[in-house]
Structure 1
């Protein structure tokens, strides 16, 4: 998966700014799918399901990883930063969930 994303990012001519804006667009689509799938007032008519939520979340994940890849100088740096940052961010999240540990 990492290779596929890195390779696609290399072929895609988007600038970092364009890719970041695309990520915002994808985040909006996730929000729209969640609102519709959970029957939020004014959104239920779209008829989206949890399958749509999963699909939109995957799109956002791919674009977010492409932003990270483009912000790195090499494939190796992308791999290292992805591992490092996800580990650090997950550990931070865990600390916020259980501050006594």
Structure 2
């Protein structure tokens, strides 16, 4: 099973396809949006995962904030400021069509 691994950081967003053997199959990286708006983050995540999502069967997420009840809570306003309660799980479900795999 191939995993789409996503890292949401304060300076960059990264995504990789990880094979069942643990090997990275493909990797992409974008700067974290400077505008710090939910729309900018959603657009950046879309650009990041769109080329990869068709090859994955599940999603794993790491973040500079806390993911609680499906929302990203940015801990450091200098990194992901303006993103209180960003609907991360809902956004990734929409972008990847993995409604049963984004929890």
TM-score scaled by structure 1?
0.26
Between structures 1 and 2, the one with greater strand share:
2
TM-score scaled by structure 2?
0.26
Between structures 1 and 2, the one with greater helix share:
1
